[in-house]
Structure 1
Amino acid sequence: MTARLLRACSVFLSRGILLLALFLTFTFAAAADVAVPQLTGRVVDQTGTLSSGAIASLDQKLRDFEAKKGSQIAVLIVPTTQPETIEQYSIRVADAWKIGRKKVDDGAILLIAKNDRHLRIEVGYGLEGALTDVNSRRIIDEVITPKFRTGDFAGGISDGVDRMIRAIDGEPLPAPARSTNFSSDLNDFGPVIPFALFASLFVGGILRTMLGRLLGSVATGGVLAALAWFMVGSAGIALAVGVIAFILAFIADLFPMATGPGTGSSRGGSWSSGSGGGWSSGSSSSDSGSFSGGGGSFGGGGASGSW
């Protein structure tokens, strides 16, 4: 009886050790995979390869292209993708970032694993006709890797992105929708906010005199909303400006200096500090903190290379 019990305990213990070993193996294997970094901007460099100026220039180029075409391109530089291949890691990045517009799938990612000396262009479904596997491979072999071999990473990435942009630009895609993202448009609209506030009071004073308090306030909101739409192209910003302009015009009696066009000197002095350099830093900063993928899907199209 005692021998049988000892034998059963021995079998149970050995199986438990085996299960624990398997569990630890899978746990360590999963933990060893390189984490997908957070999408903090159109250019994410985890190696310090690119200077801040190069990142800013590249970010602006990609931002302008997205505004014009609608397609999103992102650049990611990591030290390594090991133990995964760059193809496996690139798909994980694409699934996490979702670059490109939803249902248009017009996103592309240029991924560089610097220490591995590998790179890949990952292409969304909607761009597979423009950035074909062959075309992507030519961009890598003929444009990017020759400069990488000389140590010119910034030049290789910039030239490669230029070629990607030219290829995508020739593809018939839906026109980009006008922005309705309030938070991301604040950087663009910031420099004109002081002007918008001043205009709300000044224009409101004139229109209230002509149309009465209520109609004049409504007209002021409409005029300023249309002006904001024309300047920024954002429905969200235009609506917010229209509402603020209406409220300010409606309560303009609380601001005697802005109730009519006959008080220009006091109005000018009251707003002079606000219209100066107070918003300049916002207009020059990158939108890296607010950039996000549009929901695009990827299916493994593109090409890989090495140098």
Structure 2
Amino acid sequence: MAPKVISRRRVSARASQLRRWTGFVAAAVLLTLSGACSQSDATSSEQLADGTSLAAHRLPRPAGPVLDAADIIAPSHEQALDDRLRSFNAQTGHALVVVTTPDLAGEDIATYTLELFNRWGVGGQNRNDGVVLLVAMEERQVRIATGFGMEARLPDQRCSQIIKDAILPQFRKGDMAAGISAGVDALTFAMTAT
């Protein structure tokens, strides 16, 4: 019996379908993993005496609004972002902190981000209107944690939209700094919208 011959056009069409399917699956997984705002009461299996996870304690409280522990932002961009966020805080009183981490050390991103937010006291105890934008490199996840004082301006759906529409398109192009910057643009706009 002779081997089956498949036309080049048919192979090309199947390859195109496979690429589209792979892109769709990758996008669906990324969106599922990227999450939205977090204000949950989730707990970690590896907790310290104060109730916070061991993984979240690996990152020290930053001296400013940017902590690039994953070292994905060029120093000049990091400094410009730091200056911009300090100015935003001074003008509005709202705190926005950007954090990159090489990995989550097995922790769930929602729990990890929320514990950083609470441990660092982002947004102040009385106003509780801060925001943390976290990028976890190894897990390829993004999360936005908001204080209760920012819930009306940044509900879960809005956070998801910012991640999906502003941050992820730049990340897919391999430009992490541009994705973070686009996320900061969208967040600062939402945080000051009336």
TM-score by structure 2 length? 0.70
- Aligned mate of 2:151, from 114, 128, 132: 128
**Is 2:95 aligned against 1:72?**
yes
AA at the equivalent of 1:38? P
AA at the equivalent of 1:159? A
User: Could you tell me how far apart the structure 1 residues matched to 2:155 and 2:83 are?
Assistant: 25
1:49-88 to structure 2, matched below 5 A, reads: 49-88=72-111
1:191-230 to structure 2, matched below 5 A, reads: none
Which residue pairs with 1:112 in the alignment? 135
TM-fit CA distance, 1:161: 0.3
TM-fit CA distance, 1:30: 5.2
Which residue pairs with 2:184 in the alignment? 161
User: Could you tell me how far apart the structure 1 residues matched to 2:74 and 2:100 are?
Assistant: 13
Structure with higher Rg: it is: 1
AA at the equivalent of 1:39? R
Change beyond 3 A, Cα 1:29–1:103: closer
1:164-203 to structure 2, matched below 5 A, reads: 164-171=187-194
User: Mind listing any 5+ residue stretches in structure 1 that lack a counterpart?
Assistant: 1-27, 172-307
TM-fit CA distance, 1:112: 0.6
Change beyond 3 A, Cα 1:126–1:153: same
TM-fit CA distance, 1:68: 0.8
Contact 1:33 1:83 in 2 (8 A): no
Secondary structure at the aligned position of 1:39 is classed as: coil
1:1-307 to structure 2, matched below 5 A, reads: 29=46, 33-34=54-55, 35-40=57-62, 41-171=64-194
User: Mind listing any 5+ residue stretches in structure 2 that lack a counterpart?
Assistant: 1-44
User: Could you tell me how far apart the structure 1 residues matched to 2:119 and 2:151 are?
Assistant: 20
Secondary structure at the aligned position of 1:89 is classed as: helix
TM-fit CA distance, 1:120: 0.2
User: Could you tell me how far apart the structure 1 residues matched to 2:46 and 2:153 are?
Assistant: 37
TM-fit CA distance, 1:96: 0.9
Contact 1:106 1:126 in 2 (8 A): yes
How many residues are treated as equivalent by the alignment? Answer: 144
AA at the equivalent of 1:99? V
Change beyond 3 A, Cα 1:36–1:98: farther
In the TM superposition, what whole-angstrom CA distance separates every residue of 1:72-102 from its partner, at most 9, and x where no partner exists? 0001100111321100111110111111133
TM-fit CA distance, 1:105: 1.0
TM-score by structure 1 length? 0.45
AA at the equivalent of 1:63? R
Contact 1:100 1:108 in 2 (8 A): yes
Secondary structure at the aligned position of 1:76 is classed as: strand
In the TM superposition, what whole-angstrom CA distance separates every residue of 1:152-202 from its partner, at most 9, and x where no partner exists? 00000001101100001114xxxxxxxxxxxxxxxxxxxxxxxxxxxxxxx
User: Could you tell me how far apart the structure 1 residues matched to 2:105 and 2:125 are?
Assistant: 30
